[in-house]
Structure 1
Amino acid sequence: MTDFTPFSPTAEPPATPHPLADEYARAHLFFEARDYTEAARILAPIVDAEPAHVAARLLLARSYYHSAQLRRAEAEARRVITHAPAETYAYLLLGRSLERQNRSEDAAPYLRLAAAMDSSYARGA
């Protein structure tokens, strides 16, 4: 696992100019290969280093969801919504994560909001 350290003016430059971007790309490859647990393992330090990186956080939430780590998926989806309230898919993901935890009543408002923001997310659409 690669350790990420905050920027330091006295630190040696990284071997690649954008190690986080490289790791994000690698995580995306694992996600596409349906190795969601490995994708999540790679993404967790990325979102720790860059908490406002919405795409990485959303991919982490999706990785957790698809690997049945539903509480983690829920927490990450909520963080995405906090950082990017217009991120429609985060509402859908949060609603579906809550549903899979048998919390349909809690899920309903998020699923309705996702459907209102994007009609393709409506049930039966």
Structure 2
Amino acid sequence: MDLLEEYRRANFFFESGDPLGASRLLEPIVEAEPQNTAVRQLLARAYFNSAQLNGAETQLRVLIEHDPSDHYAHHVLGRTLERAGRFREALPHLRLAAAMKQQPDYQDALRRVETWLGKNAEA
């Protein structure tokens, strides 16, 4: 199997709106090259976009373990946990991402989770 060509195909699937197809192509590549962070990140995004939240969480935690300063992995992990309804677990990752990089979408996600937690703390 030509891993580079499979990665390119997976990226095409992902960009074409088929994250499930992309994830199927990426899984064996991550297995063959577990240290390749670009492939693992794309797999995490494909899992997230196809609502395979457990798979996304697993891949993102590996990325963060490898590089705790990866703001994007923290952000997407926070979004994954938010999407799973695990707001308290999402909050630290979203805060870290927002502190590490000033991005509007990072700030938006952080505010959304803080607001949700604030409203539910009052109930």
TM-score by length of 2: 0.83
Matched, 1:34 2:38: no
Choose which of 67, 75, 81 in structure 2 pairs with 1:98: 81
Q: Secondary structure at the match of 2:108?
A: coil
Q: Letter of the 1:123 partner, please give it.
A: D
Displacement after TM superposition at 1:86 (Å): 2.5
Q: Secondary structure at the match of 1:119?
A: coil
Displacement after TM superposition at 1:84 (Å): 2.4
Aligned to 2:29: 46
Task: Give 1 or 2: higher helix fraction.
Answer: 2
Displacement after TM superposition at 1:83 (Å): 1.9
**Gapped regions of structure 2 (runs ≥ 5):** 112-123
Aligned to 1:82: 65
TM-score by length of 1: 0.82
Structure 1 CA distance for aligned equivalents of residues 7 and 73 of structure 2: 19
Q: Secondary structure at the match of 2:41?
A: helix
Q: Letter of the 2:108 partner, please give it.
A: R
Structure 2 CA distance for aligned equivalents of residues 85 and 46 of structure 1: 23
Aligned to 2:108: 123
How many residues align? The count is 108
Aligned-pair identity in percent equals 50
Structure 2 CA distance for aligned equivalents of residues 37 and 58 of structure 1: 14
How big is each residue's C-alpha offset from its partner over 1:70-111, in whole Å with a ceiling of 9 and x where there is no partner?
111111110111122222111011000001111000000000
Q: Choose 1 or 2 for highest CA Rg.
A: 1
Structure 2 CA distance for aligned equivalents of residues 31 and 123 of structure 1: 24
Kept in 2, the 8 Å contact 1:60–1:76? The answer is yes
Matched, 1:66 2:49: yes
